[in-house]
Amino acid sequence: MNETLPPSRARRVPATRLARLGRMGGLATGLAGDVALGAGRALARGERPRLDRLVLTPGTIGRIAERLSEMRGAAMKLGQLLSMETGDMLPPELAQILARLRAEAHVMPPQQLRSVLEESYGADFRKRFKGFDTRPLAAASIGQVHRATAADGMSLAVKLQYPGVRAAIDSDLDNAAALIRWSGLLPRELDLGPLLAEARTQLHDEADYDREGRYLARFGALLRHDPRVVVPVHRPDLSAPGALAMSFEPSEPIETLAEAPPGTRDAAMTALIELCLRELFEFRLMQTDPNFANYRWRPDTGQIVLLDFGATREIVAEVAEGHMALLRAGMARDREAVLAALEALGFVRPGLSERHRTAILEMGEMGFAALDGPLDFATADLPERMRRRGMEIGSERELWHIPPAETLFLQRKIGGLYLLAARIGARVDFPALLAPYAAP
């Protein structure tokens, strides 16, 4: 077994609640010291100190991102969710911290990794595999992934959960939320309650590897006749509460599709958007994490490899039917029906002023108009126009609102696919994809 890890990325995960609380407390104490020092300097210059400006200095930005990345788990996941859900309402400096949390995660050092393997497979864990590469393929907020070879010769990907992360989810979230509220990093008018509830649910789900294994197998069965996609084969015989084993599926990062021929890009993105529609309206089951790392592709066949089913959610009938009503109202350009559907789904609060109703409807019409024909994401300016409009709406405090969790995850999935289509420059025939669903 090769036990060489990149030293700059190897950090021991604090495995007990006390250790994790100490890390968070140390961060808060350090930030408080920075704030006090910055406030003193501001007063000496005759300026009135502002908490957000004192917290969001280059030094504290790096410290916050580094500490949350070291802790992994709930603190890191909350940062990732905040970056995706609050979007353009965030100060640029905070957006910088959260963007780093989406891209960075440390890995376990060799001694801690061995302890995790022994906990999952016993002291003789080497006998369970023909080979096990201790250099991880990937690292994220809950665990890290390794290549291995099963005793029967199957090439495997094994996801190992960081120690202590599952037991500390609730306390981590409470501590991270308290730090965010204390620091003034978010507007006080923004209710973090729904986001915290969503983060709590998603983290407990993602940390349940037995659950993820079941959904992995279920998606494999649902998509077994679709030659465009590949779902890894679950290996329950080599899985444990802290380890999830599946077939290793050779593939490339999905972003490299940007260099593929136009037809290949278009076909891949069409398959992913069609899958999202089927998840919502047919399967009533959705993998809700749109992280680009959860999609890969095979240049030789053009197939999409689907990874990470920890964030899979069952979709209740009311949510599916509500989105169907929204889709049909939007395609028919029925403004009142669009607003009613948005209110029913919890995207907007009832009782808005006429001015705010108009602003939201105009943004909705902008999005639906783009679906009237094939949309070329490589040249379309819709993302930028909607971003600017979203910033304008976000500047209105009356409209600061986080939707309910049951619609929040779907909004995140759709937004992630939109970003992916723009990243690879695909062209998608939306009328053809939506026709089976848009007609009453």
Active site residues: 289
- Count helices and strands (H / E) in the chain: 16, 13
Burial class (CB in 10 A: 0-12, 13-18, 19+), 274: middle
Rounded Cα–Cα distance for residues 224 and 228 (Å): 10
Could you tell me the two tokens for 291? 């992280």
Give the number of other CB atoms < 10 A from CB of residue 426.
25
Rounded Cα–Cα distance for residues 83 and 439 (Å): 35
Asked whether the CA dihedral 366, 88, 415, 190 is positive or negative, the reply is negative
Cβ proximity of 339 and 325 under 8 Å: no
Q: If you compute the radius of gyration of the chain from its CA atoms, what whole number of angstroms results? A: 23
For residue 317, the surrounding DSSP H or E stretch is: helix 317-331
Cβ neighbours of residue 99 closer than 8 Å, sequence gap 6 or more:
83
CA dihedral (44, 46, 47, 48) in degrees, to 10, reads: 90
For residue 33, the surrounding DSSP H or E stretch is: helix 17-44
In 3-state terms, what secondary structure has residue 247? strand
Residue type, 222: L
Cβ neighbours of residue 234 closer than 8 Å, sequence gap 6 or more:
213, 216, 217, 220, 245, 246
The tally of CA atoms less than 13 A away on the side-chain side of residue 184 is: 11
Cβ proximity of 80 and 141 under 8 Å: yes
Cβ neighbours of residue 340 closer than 8 Å, sequence gap 6 or more:
329
Cβ neighbours of residue 101 closer than 8 Å, sequence gap 6 or more:
65, 68, 69, 76, 79, 80, 83
